[in-house]
C-alpha cells in the first residue's frame, strides 16, 4: 500500500488521495513514483477516512509541529477526509495544519468551501503557476472551465477568512512571468512564494 503519511525536507505530509482535477505539465507524479521517504505515493485504491485517521493516530510526530496536506493528488477532491483528518490532527496531535492546493476546491465541491477550511486549516498555499488565464490554462490544464478565475476567487476568499494565505510559483518561470506574478500578488495583496524546483 502507498504511504499516506510521508516526510520530506523536515515536514510531514498527508497524501490522502490521488484524485486531481488538473493535469499540470510539470506535475512530479508523472516523473517519479515517490517523494521524500515514500517509495510510492500512488495508492492502489484511495485510502478511506479511517485509514487516514489511523495513519495520523499511529505516526510519531515527535519533533514536528505541522502536518501538510499535499500528495499525489488534490486534497480538496476528497474534502470530507481532508476536513476530518485536519480536525483530528489538530485536536489529537496538537499540530498546525497547512494545505497545499490548486485552488479549484470550491468549484470541485459545488460550494464555497472556505468557511469549512477556515475551521481546521492554519495556512494555505495556492499554486498560482502563471500570471494570466491563457498561460494558466496551458500549464495547469484544469478540468473545470474558468480554472484561472476559480483559483483567483478561491484565494481571495481564503484571504478573507484564513490568516496565512499565499500563492506559490516555481522559480523555473521566465523572469518576465515572475514579475507579472509579483504584480498580481501586489494587486490582490496576496503574498507570493517563489519555490525552488524540486
CA distance 17 to 75: 6
Residue 129 falls in which region: left (phi positive, over 0), alpha (psi -120 to 50) or beta: left
Kindly state the smallest distance separating residue 27's Cβ from ligand SF4, in Å.
3
State the virtual CA torsion across 79, 119, 167, 171 in degrees, nearest 10: -70
20 binds ligand SF4 (CB under 6 A): yes
107 binds ligand SF4 (CB under 6 A): no
| 193 secondary structure, DSSP code | E
One of 2, 14, 22, 158 touching ligand SF4 (CB under 6 A)? 22
Q: Which residues are CB-neighbours of 136 under 8 A, at least 6 positions away?
A: 129, 130, 142, 147, 148, 151
CA distance 182 to 198: 21
When the beta carbons of 7 and 168 are compared against ligand SF4, the nearer one is: 168
When the beta carbons of 61 and 177 are compared against ligand SF4, the nearer one is: 177
Number of chain positions touching ligand SF4 (CB under 6 A): 9
Interface positions, 48-77, toward ligand SF4 (CB under 6 A):
73-74
Kindly state the smallest distance separating residue 29's Cβ from ligand SF4, in Å.
6
Kindly state the smallest distance separating residue 66's Cβ from ligand SF4, in Å.
19
Name the nearest CA neighbour of 27 among 61, 73, 59, 82. 73
| CB 182, CB 192: distance < 8 Å | yes
When the beta carbons of 20 and 114 are compared against ligand SF4, the nearer one is: 20
When the beta carbons of 22 and 79 are compared against ligand SF4, the nearer one is: 22
Residues that bind ligand SF4 (CB under 6 A): 20, 22-24, 27, 29, 73-74, 102
Amino acid at each position: 500500500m502507498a504511504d499516506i503519511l510521508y516526510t520530506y525536507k523536515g515536514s510531514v505530509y498527508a497524501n490522502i488521495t490521488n484524485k486531481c482535477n488538473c493535469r499540470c505539465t510539470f506535475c512530479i507524479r508523472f516523473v517519479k513514483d515517490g517523494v521524500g521517504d515514500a517509495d510510492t505515493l500512488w495508492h492502489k485504491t484511495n485510502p478511506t477516512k479511517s485509514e487516514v485517521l489511523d495513519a495520523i493516530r499511529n505516526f510519531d510526530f515527535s519533533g514536528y509541529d505541522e502536518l501538510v496536506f499535499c500528495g499525489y493528488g488534490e486534497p480538496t477532491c476528497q474534502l470530507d477526509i481532508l476536513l476530518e483528518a485536519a480536525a483530528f490532527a489538530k485536536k489529537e496531535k496538537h499540530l498546525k495544519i497547512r494545505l497545499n492546493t490548486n485552488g479549484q476546491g470550491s468549484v470541485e465541491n459545488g460550494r464555497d468551501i472556505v468557511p469549512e477550511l477556515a475551521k481546521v486549516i492554519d495556512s494555505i498555499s495556492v499554486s498560482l503557476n502563471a500570471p494570466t488565464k491563457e498561460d494558466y490554462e496551458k500549464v495547469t490544464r484544469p478540468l473545470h472551465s474558468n480554472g484561472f478565475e476559480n483559483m483567483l476567487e478561491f484565494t481571495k476568499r481564503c484571504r478573507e477568512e484564513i490568516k496565512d494565505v499565499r500563492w506559490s510559483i516555481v522559480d523555473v518561470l521566465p523572469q518576465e512571468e515572475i514579475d507579472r506574478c509579483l504584480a498580481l500578488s501586489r494587486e490582490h495583496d496576496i503574498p507570493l512564494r517563489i519555490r525552488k524546483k524540486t
